[in-house]
Amino acid sequence: MDISRTAIWKSIKHLETLGLQIEAVRGRGYCLVSPIELLSEKKIKSELSPTARQFCNELIVLFKTESTSSFLLNRLSSENNHGVVVLAEYQSKGRGRRGNQWVSPLASGVCISVAWHFDVAPNALGLLSLYMGVATARTLSALGVTELGLKWPNDIVIKDKKLGGVLLELRGEASGPVDVIIGIGINYDLPCFALADIDKEVTDICSLTEMHLSRNKIAATLLSNIFEVLEELELGVSTDFLDEWRQYDQSVGRRAKLILPDQEIEGILQGVDNQGLLLMIVDGQLKSFASGEVSLRIQ
Ligand code: BTN
């Protein structure tokens, strides 16, 4: 390759700082601790559904970026973002809900953001975050992941362990025009050291199934489901996404604590209402809560 050993060593060290696990074998070289499949624009495009192919105006695969959602937000004023998809192998400042960081070392997750512009906001815009949870759950179910659940407002869980999450960001007017950035992260093969940076119980696809699902296939199936939801919202078709969300909700009847910025509320969960608000019996009374700056701990 016409490069020095030092240059190779430096590259290996750089990949390690991004979270890739590499073993040095004395006298022989370097070896990945487990094989990785890099994301490929070509492979993803080839597996998109006809609807996704029609609606995806641009598909950008980055090796490294701060955050795929920030990447799209930063382009909002200067470029036409409608139908633009960004994926990254590594995010240095991956963002979760409520200012949390989203930890996803190099090639260990599926980190994807989609930008969409609505001239007129659809009636169900407030439900989009829940719908994206459904799109993610549909994706994983179709690929053979079982026992999937959705935890309000937008966690994808398996047996109470977090497998993925949705971050929805809106810019514009509530009634439109409005730009939406949908960010979805799925844990694919989290290295053990990453768990120290995550303050909740998590799981990943590789621990759940021995099928060695392809990250490109997951990304393509997820995009197909995301664009299907967006198409239905655009067309104003009345769908049963909310009922589907309820089918994935495993928390009805369970005791939970809701952590608001200024107080904590305990109660028994009762699912979501037709606006996507969380329903909870608190001191014998049924109350509803909007997602905003709220965190839900199921007990
Ligand atoms: C959450 O559960 O808190 C939401 C996590 C969302 C993470 C994804 S990864 C792709 C996109 N880019 C980001 O910086 N965040 C979202």
Which residue's CA is minimally distant from atom 7 of ligand 1? 185
- Ligand 1 mean position, distance from CA 284 (Å): 35
pLDDT tens, position by position, 228-258: 999 998 887 766 899 999 999 999 999 999 9
Atom of ligand 1 nearest to the CA of 93: 14
Q: Let me know if 97 is a catalytic residue.
A: yes
> What is the C-alpha separation between 169 and 286, in angstroms, rounded?
29
Annotated catalytic residue, options 95, 97, 151, 215: 97
| Per-residue model confidence (pLDDT) at position 135 | 97
| Per-residue model confidence (pLDDT) at position 238 | 63
Q: Which residues of the chain have pLDDT under 70?
A: 238-239
| Per-residue model confidence (pLDDT) at position 1 | 79
| Per-residue model confidence (pLDDT) at position 184 | 98
Q: Is the minimum distance from the CB of 149 to ligand 1 under 6 angstroms?
A: no
Q: Is the minimum distance from the CB of 69 to ligand 1 under 6 angstroms?
A: yes
User: What backbone phi and psi angles, to 5 degrees, belong to 218?
Assistant: -60, -45
